[in-house]
Structure 1
Amino acid sequence: MPWDYPQAYTLPLQPQEQDIDGLQHTNNAVYVRWCEAIGWSHSEALGLGLADYHRLDRAMAIRSASYDYLQATRLGEPLTLGTWLTASDGKMTMERRFQLIRNSDQATVLRGRWELICVDISAGRARRFPPEFSAIYLPAMVGQADAP
């Protein structure tokens, strides 16, 4: 697939009836939900799940999110969503990118970007990465130089 970055972590998807809005295409809110699902799945695959976040009293929270809705998708269309960790200051922040591709024509139908900040769960304040976050997330970064 024509991914924006190498080594995409992917999730196959197909819009279901409940995902379709009055205009007969996938509702924009569904794409946001899918990005959240793949973000958690990717983190768990790397070795940091929700239980780890609670144990460490740290979480990566979305500070800002943006989505470019490029083309519509329809009921039952096979799609593949990819995600990457693309940047970090190595201390408190990370960036996660998303790309949704329609399998039939390889068209990119959505791109998304999250700016994430590490917070302590108990107080909701910005905090430095715990050692586990640095050890797991930083090696998973795909740098901007890797983009086509």
Structure 2
Amino acid sequence: MQTYELVITPAPADIDELGHVNNAVWVRWIQDVATAHWLAAADPTHIDAYLWVVVRHEIDYLGNVGAGDAVSARTWIAEPPRGARFDRHVAFTGPDGKVKVRAKTTWAIVDRATGRVLRVPADVAARFI
């Protein structure tokens, strides 16, 4: 299983009236880390040929992150795709070493040329499993 990791520091606009990262920002970061993983690991011809769309998010908010607190975002794909879909896992760990948010998101692959969902090609999946 290949993992991908990056560090994110919240911008002032990411902080809500309670003084921590807003829930909607976590959703954006899930997409950001998934996209970064795709761009880092995928074959360039696959990047040109396919797009990904989210079909489901499951998010557990376990703790808060405040202004200036960098989080480590780690993502991985634990199981092979099922048809056009696969599940991506994401964990955001705070500066105290505790997971603050964890998510499982389901993504579907779309052919750029036709705009249609298709079965995940084996050579695409191989770069991530």
Normalising by structure 2, report the TM-score: 0.85
Give the number of equivalent residue pairs. 129
Q: Is the counterpart of residue 93 in structure 1 residue 88 in structure 2?
A: no
RMSD over aligned Cα atoms: 2.2
Q: Secondary structure at the match of 1:71?
A: coil
Query: After the TM superposition, which residues 1-148 of structure 1 pair with which residues of structure 2 at under 5 Å, given as runs?
Result: 8-48=3-43, 52-53=46-47, 55-56=48-49, 58-89=50-81, 91-103=83-95, 105-121=96-112, 123-130=114-121, 134-141=122-129
Q: Secondary structure at the match of 2:110?
A: strand
Residues in 2 aligned to 1:115 and 1:66: alpha-carbon distance in whole angstroms: 9
Decide whether aligned partners of structure 1 residues 66 and 13 sit closer, same or farther in structure 2, where only a CA change above 3 A counts.
same
Normalising by structure 1, report the TM-score: 0.75
Per mean C-alpha deviation after superposition, the further-off stretch among 38-47 and 87-96 is 87-96
Residues in 2 aligned to 1:108 and 1:118: alpha-carbon distance in whole angstroms: 29
Q: Secondary structure at the match of 1:140?
A: coil
C-alpha displacement of 1:30: 0.9
Structure 1: gaps spanning 5 or more residues: 1-5, 142-148
C-alpha displacement of 1:99: 0.1
Is this contact kept in 2: 1:15–1:75, CA < 8 A? yes
Aligned match of 1:3: none
Structure 2: gaps spanning 5 or more residues: none
C-alpha displacement of 1:88: 2.5
Post-superposition Cα deviations, 1:23-47, rounded to whole Å, max 9, x if no partner, equal 1111111111111111111011112
Identity of aligned residues (%): 26
Is this contact kept in 1: 2:109–2:117, CA < 8 A? yes
